[in-house]
């Protein structure tokens, strides 16, 4: 049976202003239109404890801040962690996000687009906002080797997501997919290499140099099967993900004495087609899973979360689009 909110689901947690706080529970968010993806991503951010700890330090009167996303997110999360049962209003945050990107959120946006809009707005800010925006930063070393002259060039880049592709010849389980990353496979393409001044092929490899405290994994479920936007389709193919994930296989030095084991704490899921659908978020807090469906929040189970592995041929069921993992403290423990 599914549990609903009751007094037994309340827990206490300090408020961001250090004042006594009523019993804490997870609150929903009002949806005024096609903002279910924004609501789901905000629930994910609120469920990120590092962000909650830092967002309260944002200076609301900083005159050099180029946008107001950090301040609006701070006020919204402050409301969300109060012990009130009524849903919160995210409209001021949505407005700040629209000003930042220069376009309104009139239609449903992909959850990845929403996540990057908020994170990039925070990273473009000053002080604490910039630190929050870089919580997800992954530093990669990309190496390009010319197959004609054997010259190697290396560059360091940063990203805030790991993209997982779904295909006929690819693993259908996340840990297996990550392990495949360690193979010395490479991508080649026609390229005019500046060192030897000839059209040739290059070998491209990418390895992670440093891992952040929280990792965002985006499952690429949308692809274009033609040349037109009408040829964009969503796949509900099964793709499983574990509660614990070891990322040592993507590291440049897999044997480095750093923690590479992560624990799942949020899942953003989508139901419907690419053109018409609905987002929800599963959030783990104090080892209890919750389902946030706009203004409605209820307790759920790990079995409910696993139901997002696949959507079925008719795409009726919610399917996972975005996963968030939190780094575990111990050094390279066994994955269970």
CA distances to 11, 133, 241, 322 from 222, rounded to whole Å, are: 38, 26, 18, 13
Q: Which domain holds residue 213?
A: 35-327
3-state secondary structure of 224: strand
pLDDT band at 314 (very low <50, low <70, confident <90, very high): low
Is residue 202 situated within a structural domain?
Answer: yes
Is residue 9 situated within a structural domain?
Answer: no
162/326 Cα distance (integer angstroms):
14
CATH number at residue 215: 3.90.70.10
Digit-coded pLDDT (tens) for 65-98: 667 899 999 999 999 987 678 999 999 999 999 9
pLDDT at 143 (0 to 100): 80
Is residue 68 situated within a structural domain?
Answer: yes
pLDDT at 329 (0 to 100): 79
67/97 Cα distance (integer angstroms):
9
What is the average per-residue pLDDT within 258-283? 90
Is residue 96 situated within a structural domain?
Answer: yes
pLDDT at 286 (0 to 100): 87
3-state secondary structure of 283: strand
What is the average per-residue pLDDT within 95-121? 91
- Cβ-proximal residues to 45 (8 Å cutoff; 6+ apart), any chain: 51, 73, 77, 118
Total count of domains within the chain: 1
pLDDT at 275 (0 to 100): 66
Contact (CB, 8 A) for 289 and 297: no
State yes or no: pLDDT of 20 exceeds 60.
Answer: no
Is residue 258 situated within a structural domain?
Answer: yes
58/296 Cα distance (integer angstroms):
28
Contact (CB, 8 A) for 257 and 331: yes
pLDDT at 9 (0 to 100): 37
pLDDT at 224 (0 to 100): 63
């Amino acid at each position: 049976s599914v549990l609903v909110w009751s007094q037994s689901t309340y827990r206490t947690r300090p408020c961001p202003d250090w004042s006594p706080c009523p019993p804490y529970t997870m609150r929903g968010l009002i949806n005024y239109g096609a903002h279910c993806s924004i609501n789901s991503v905000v629930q994910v951010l609120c469920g990120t404890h590092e962000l909650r700890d830092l967002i309260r330090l944002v200076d609301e009167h900083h005159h050099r801040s180029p946008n107001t996303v950090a301040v609006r997110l701070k006020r919204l999360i402050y409301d969300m962690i109060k012990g009130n049962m009524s849903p919160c209003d995210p409209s001021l945050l949505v407005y700040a996000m629209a000003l930042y990107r220069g376009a309104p959120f009139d239609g449903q946006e992909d959850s990845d687009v929403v996540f990057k809009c908020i994170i990039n707005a925070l990273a473009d800010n000053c002080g604490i906002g910039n630190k929050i925006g870089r919580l997800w930063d992954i530093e990669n070393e990309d190496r390009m080797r010319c197959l004609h002259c054997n010259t190697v060039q290396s560059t360091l880049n940063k990203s805030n997501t790991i993209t997982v592709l779904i295909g006929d010849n690819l693993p259908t389980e996340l840990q297996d997919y990550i392990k495949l990353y360690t193979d010395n496979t490479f991508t080649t393409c026609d390229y005019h290499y500046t060192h030897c001044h000839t059209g040739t092929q290059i070998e491209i490899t990418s390895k992670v140099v440093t891992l952040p405290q929280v990792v965002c994994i985006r499952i690429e479920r949308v692809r274009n099967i033609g040349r037109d936007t009408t040829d964009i389709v969503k796949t509900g193919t099964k793709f499983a993900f574990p509660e614990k994930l070891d990322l040592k296989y993507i590291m440049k030095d897999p044997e480095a004495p750093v923690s590479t084991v992560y624990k799942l704490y949020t899942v953003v899921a989508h139901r419907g087609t690419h053109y018409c659908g609905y987002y929800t978020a599963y959030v783990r807090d104090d080892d209890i899973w919750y389902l946030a469906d706009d203004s409605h929040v209820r307790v759920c189970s790990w079995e409910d979360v696993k139901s997002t592995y696949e959507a079925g041929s008719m795409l009726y069921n919610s399917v996972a689009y975005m996963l968030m993992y939190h780094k575990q403290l111990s050094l390279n423990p066994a994955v269970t």
